[in-house]
A = this chain, B = another copy of it.
Amino acid sequence: MTAPQTTDVITDTVRRYLDAVATGTAAQIAGLYAPDATVEDPVGSAPHRGTEAVTAFYAALENLRRSTELLALRVAGNEAAFHFRVRTEIDGNAHVIEPIDVMTFDDEGRITSMRAFWSAADMRQA
C-alpha cells in the first residue's frame, strides 16, 4: 500500500503522458511508467508488463505524426480516469480516436498500470 498521491501529482503525470504520446519517443513514454507497470490497451487484450514490453508497445507510434488533447480528467484516490483525443497521421491519412484511459500511480507519481477503453468502432477518419 503506497501513500495516496495528491491530485496535483497525478494530474501532472497525466499531462506529461499526453505530451509524451504526442511528441516523445517510446522510451520517453515508457519512462513515465514504474519498471513493473502493466499496459492493457485495449481493455480485454493481454497486458504488456515491464519497461521493455511497454517501450515496444509505444514504438509503433514513433512513425506517426501525432497530437493529443485532454478532454476530461477525474482523479480519485491513487487513480485517474481521463478522456482524451489522439490524432494520428500516416501517408496523409488522419485518424482520430478518443479513448478513456484508467491509470494507477505509485508514491512517486509513476504510472503502475494503464487500461485503455476503446474499440475499433470508436476510430474515425479525420
Q: A residues within 8 Å of B by Cβ?
A: 4, 7, 42-45, 71-72, 74-83, 98-100, 102, 116-119, 121-122
Residue of A43, A71, A79, A83 with most partner-chain B CB within 10 A: A43
- Contact between A76 and B4 (Cβ–Cβ < 8 Å)? no
- Contact between B117 and A43 (Cβ–Cβ < 8 Å)? no
Copies in the complex: 2
- Contact between A117 and B79 (Cβ–Cβ < 8 Å)? yes
Chain B residues whose CB sits within 8 angstroms of the CB of A76 once the complex forms: 42-44, 116-119
Q: Which residue of B lies closest to A104 (CB)?
A: B43
Q: Which residue of B lies closest to A79 (CB)?
A: B43
Give which listed residue, B75, B78, B80, B100, contacts A74 with CB less than 8 A.
B100
- Contact between B7 and A77 (Cβ–Cβ < 8 Å)? no
- Cα distance A100–B75 in the bound complex, in angstroms: 10
Chain B residues whose CB sits within 8 angstroms of the CB of A79 once the complex forms: 43-44, 117
In the complex, how many angstroms separate the beta carbon of A94 from the nearest chain B beta carbon?
A: 20
In the complex, how many angstroms separate the beta carbon of A113 from the nearest chain B beta carbon?
A: 13
Chain B residues whose CB sits within 8 angstroms of the CB of A45 once the complex forms: 77
Given A42-B77, A43-B76: 16 more A-B contacts, CB < 8 Å? A4-B44, A7-B119, A42-B76, A43-B77, A43-B79, A44-B76, A44-B78, A45-B77, A72-B72, A72-B83, A72-B98, A74-B100, A74-B119, A75-B119, A80-B117, A102-B102
